Chain A
Amino acid sequence: AAEQAPDGTAKGKPRLLLMGQRRSGKSSISSVVFHKLPPSETLFLESTARIQKDELPSFMDFQVWDFPGQIDIFENPTFDIDAMFGEIGALIWVIDAQDDYLEAVARLNVTILNLQRTYPNIKIEVFIHKVDGLSDDYKLDIQRDITIRIQDELSDNGFENAPVTFHLTSIYNHSIFEAFSKVIQKLIPRLGILEAMLTNLCRTCRFEKAYLFDVTSKIYIATDSAPADMTSYEICSDYIDVIIDVTEVYGSWPRSEKHREGLEGSPWNQKLEDQVASNWAESCMVLSDGNKPIILREVNKYLALVAIMKEDSYDKMPLVNINVEVVVQGLEEFFDITKPK
């Protein structure tokens, strides 16, 4: 459920604001991405009556605000615009691609112009949403049309380089996670260092692709320099699901003390903690297709590294694990240093 943050406690945390017309899909997006609601169950969501503020404890604590569709924040004197946009963050404007979108675009234009005057650094992310069921050609046509309508309006008003980005999204596939990944990545200080670390790892271990995931939302917060494609993201993200589900079935209940004593006795004669190689989860799946391994390594409570290896590289796993361990330590240091104080 959404939690109302007490006022003032959230200073310094990046904030994502979800706005757009009624029924455009804002609450659905936030429930599917951050609360694991199955997409089909969003049919039963009620229209949002007041702003829902969600605190998301994560590798970088951030907030998601889900707005009611009908309110106009610039018309309504009860809104403290400065408190809303004063923090770093992004405005996500959701447009229903299956509906007539002219009014949505007009309202978005007004909003962008208002923001550009006072908060030119706020990133504006346009989600052209509900594109499931639309043909690829039609999707691109809509995206082109909306982009032109917004850019024309902006340049008419003298803003040539407003930070507006477009994403085609749907809650029925991975596209919504992909879009959020890109939005979040812009909010990470010194993202380039993370990317360089992953690119290096891919080179030394001969990985095809590596992603650093926020495990609970399955947003990826960094990847190596090889182009990110939907299929590799999907398989890595689905692998996280497998690990989470398996861990829920076998890793969430306490074994008896007596059993533990037995396991620490002969022939091992060692504390269980000392019998394991790592305190964090390590997984590997070898595909029949070219014996290609996919590996997963927990970095900390929130983050996991998932990578797709080159064909037939399972034999090199011991070496790979050593390299991964080094990178994981580097990542820990990175987040320690960049953590907002």
Chain B
Amino acid sequence: MPPDVRNEVKKPKKKKVLLMGKSGSGKSSMRSIIFSATIDIDLSHVKFLGNLTLNLWDCGGQEAFTENYLTQQRVHVFSNVGVLIYVFDIESRDVERDMATYVSIISAMVQYSPTAKVYVLIHKMDLITMHAREAVFVDRVRLVQQKTAEFTQASGFNSELDLIPFATSIWDQSLYKAWASIIHDLVPNLSVIESQLGSLGTIIEAEEILLFERTSFLVVSSWTSEEGLGNPTGDRQERMSNILKHFKQSISRFTGTPRNAEQFILMEHKAGPRFSMFVCKFTTNTYLMVVLPPGEARFNSARFNCQIARESFKFLDGPTPGQGQSGRA
């Protein structure tokens, strides 16, 4: 890599990711699926991508508690937020109050982390009949946007607040899709990684390359060759996430190690004259999956080249855990 590119890469500041929503809206369920974290009441945060923490906060319901972090702890909770993920339960009986709670959160966000990205997850969509889903979703998103706009206008917040909405359910692939997009935005220096993946793929004659976040196995970046675009399986990224994550859990049962611990270093598969592939630990926070045309020599050379490439991807990982940590709530 040329030295000027290296200099452009900024050291990312440690940012928080807040997962908020009313108690019972589905936050813990999501977290346990995406991060294979056990549902532990005491643990309100998960670490991922090495240096990011995901904090869970219940909003509404226990009023005294919400009051407390919206007032005394306001600075502490809402400073340095990179992403806010707000979960709405589609089945909620008191939409008006949900919106009021949401707006009070947004107001604190805008005050202390005005540049944070806001994801709005309309959750438990499986409870809505299939043919009404799209309409119900659009409707609820419109309401959230309207409440947000009303607030920003009234408070004189001078830039548009950009909401990114997703319809989700823990019972289908929609959750993976939403979270892949969230994680994608959180990986530091992604554009550099993406162009590097392309060069690597071309050199090693790969058909497809997927880069996974190591805890969640969500795809953060990918590259596909022209020939590879002919693969008729459209949802293969979500499927590969699912397959590898499932097996990770099997290994954890086998070895008796925690579900969210690292479980494997390498997987190789040579499917005779059909294709070859491997998945290997890549940088500190990622796994790399490479799909190749058949051939022993091609496989070995690709493995070797990825080994070398790892070095030039390494410094993109961002600060290592323990650096510039602030205390948690």
Residue ranges of A at the interface with B (Cβ–Cβ < 8 Å)? 231-232, 234-235, 238-239, 241-243, 245-251, 253, 255-256, 259, 263, 268, 272-273, 275-289, 291, 298, 314
Contact = CB atoms under 8 A, between A and B. Distances in A.
A247 B271 contact: yes
A218 to B, nearest CB: 13
B272 A275 contact: no
Interface of B: 205, 207-208, 227, 230-233, 236, 239-240, 243-244, 246-247, 250-251, 253-255, 257, 261-275, 277, 291, 293-298
B275 to A, nearest CB: 5
Contact of A247 (B264, B267, B274): B274
Contact of A249 (B240, B247, B251): B240
Contacts of A242: 243-244, 246-247, 267
B272 A278 contact: yes
Contacts of B262: 288
Query: Which of A232, A238, A253, A287 has the most chain B CB within a 10 Å cutoff?
Result: A287
Nearest 5 pairs between A and B by C-beta? A275-B295, A238-B250, A289-B255, A235-B254, A283-B269
Nearest to A281: B271
Nearest to A289: B255
A103 B241 CA distance: 48
Interface majority SS (helix, strand, loop, mixed), chain B: mixed
A238 B269 contact: no
Nearest to B263: A288
Contacts of A253: 230-233
B270 A283 contact: yes
A25 B262 CA distance: 38
B272 A283 contact: no
B270 A234 contact: no
Contact of A286 (B208, B265, B272): B265
Contacts of A268: 295, 297-298
B272 A256 contact: no
B227 A256 contact: yes
Contact of A291 (B261, B265, B274): B265
Contacts of B294: 272, 275-276
Nearest to A247: B271
